[in-house]
Amino acid sequence: MQYQLIENQNQLNSFVEKIKNKPILAIDTEFMRRRTLYPEVALIQVFDGEHLALIDPLAELSLFDFWQILKDPNVLKVLHSPSEDIEVFQKYAGFVPAPLFDTQFALQLLGEGNCMGFALMVNKLLDVEIDKSESRTNWLQRPLTEKQLDYAAADTYYLLPCFEQIIEKINHAGFFDIVINESCLVANKRAFSLPDSEIYKDIKNAWQLKPHELVVLKELAAWRKNKAIRKNLALNFVLKEHNLVEIAKRAPSSLNSLRQIPGVESMEINRSGIEILKCIDRAKAIDPENFPAQLKRLIDFVNYKKVAKEVRQKITKVAKEHDIPEDVMASKKQINQLLSWNWKLTPAQRENHIKPDLLSSWRYKYVKDVLSEWDT
C-alpha cells in the first residue's frame, strides 16, 4: 500500500491534477472530539484507485481546488458510515461532498449487515484483517507516526474495492438513488438546528417538570447551547444535562444555594454560576400564562402502542413489496418521529422543525399512500 502525506501546496496541487477527472473517490477523515462541540479535523484521506494521499489540514494549505472536486456532481464520493465525516466537512469546508455513497447504508439496504463496521466489512468482502488499534489515537499530534499514517491510509485503500463489490449489487437491485438520497438526508439532519425556544423539549426527563420548572429549563437549555457554540465546548462541558433538570426543579436564587444541588460541580458553578442565575431570573420574570405546557411522552398518548403497531404493519407491507429491509424503510425511532410530528407539534411549530424521515427523502415515495393521513 503506497500513499503520500501532503503537507505543502505543491504536493496538493499535483495530487489535485491527478485526481480531478476521476469519476470515483474513496474518502475518509480523521478527527478529534475531546471537549469541543465541533469535531477538530486532523487528516483527510483520498484514494482514486491509483493515487492515495493523506492531506494534512493542519498545514498551511489552500484547499480551494480540492474542494471543487468534492463539489463536482460528476464525481462520486464514497465513504463508510459518514455521519460524523459529514459534520467535519460542514464545519471545516462549509459544504458536504456530493453525491455521496455510504457503503455501510448500502450494505444495510441490501440486507447484508446492520450498521456494519469498516473492519468487519473489509474482512467479509475482501477477507482481509485490518488493524484498528489506532482508532483512539491522538490525530492532532504532529508528527504523526508511521503506524497512524498506515492506519489512516488503509481506510480508503480498502474502501474502494469494497465499494466495487457493493455497487454491483446496488445497481442490480435498482437502489443507487436511494443510497445517494439517504446521504442527503443525513447531511440535512446534521445541518438542522432546533430553534432556541424548542431545545428544552429534547432534554432527558424534561417531561417530569411542571410548567413553572419548564420555563427555567427553557432558559437554561437555550443559554447552554449558545455558550457551547460561542466557546466551541461540548454541551456537557458547559453544564451536564441532568444538572439542567435539577437546577430547573429548585430554581436557586444564589450561588450558595446552587452549590447545594446534588450533582452540580464546583467547576460548573465557577465557570457559569452567574449566567445560570441570570437564566433563572429571566424565567421568574415571565408571566405564568406564558409558561410552557407540561410535556407529554408518546407513551402518554392514548392508543400510542396500537397506532404505532398499525403504522408499522403498513410500512412492513410496503417494504416487502419493494424488497427493502423493514428496518431500513422505517426504524422505531422514525415511526416515533412521525407520530411526534403529528401529535406534539402545532402547524406553526412544524414550520421550524425538520420533516420526519417518512415524509421526506426517498421513503416518502414508497409510503405516502399508506401514510396519507399522517402527511400534514
Shared domain check, 224 and 238: yes
- pLDDT for position 136: 82
Shared domain check, 220 and 108: no
Whether 151 sits among the annotated catalytic residues: the reply is yes
- pLDDT for position 87: 95
Which residue, 246, 258, 199, is CA-closest to 227? 199
* Helices 176-191 & 83-92 angle (0-180, nearest 10): 50
- pLDDT for position 134: 77
Shared domain check, 95 and 171: yes
Share above pLDDT 70 across residues of the chain, in percent, rounded to a whole number:
100
DSSP string, 98-151: SSEEEHHHHHHHTTS-SS--HHHHHHHHH------TTTTS-TTSSSPPHHHHHH
Shared domain check, 201 and 182: no
| Amino acid code (one letter) for 320 | K
Whether 28 sits among the annotated catalytic residues: the reply is yes
Q: How far is CA 258 from CA 62, 227, 266, 274, in A?
A: 48, 19, 10, 10
Give the CATH number of the domain where residue 363 resides: 1.10.150.80
- pLDDT for position 34: 85
- pLDDT for position 195: 93
Q: Give the Cβ contact number of residue 250 at 10 Å.
A: 16
Whether 200 sits among the annotated catalytic residues: the reply is no
Shared domain check, 249 and 145: no
Catalytic annotation, pick one of 155, 182, 213, 268: 155
Shared domain check, 337 and 223: no
Shared domain check, 218 and 182: no
Shared domain check, 237 and 173: no
Give the CATH number of the domain where residue 20 resides: 3.30.420.10
Shared domain check, 217 and 245: yes
Shared domain check, 169 and 29: yes
Profile the chain (376 residues) by mean pLDDT over runs of 10 residues: 96 97 97 92 98 97 97 98 95 96 98 91 96 85 95 97 98 98 95 94 97 98 97 96 97 96 94 97 97 96 96 98 97 97 93 93 96 91
Whether 30 sits among the annotated catalytic residues: the reply is yes
Catalytic annotation, pick one of 3, 134, 151, 182: 151
* Total tally of structural domains belonging to the chain: 3
Shared domain check, 222 and 163: no
Q: ω into residue 356 within 30 of 0, thus cis?
A: no
Task: Give backbone dihedrals phi and psi of 356, rounded to 5 degrees, phi first.
Answer: -60, 150
What is the domain range of residue 15? Answer: 4-191
Catalytic annotation, pick one of 48, 56, 85, 102: 85
Catalytic annotation, pick one of 28, 134, 182, 219: 28
Choose one of 236, 264, 290: the last residue of a domain.
290
Shared domain check, 37 and 65: yes
Q: Give the Cβ contact number of residue 368 at 10 Å.
A: 14
- pLDDT for position 376: 77
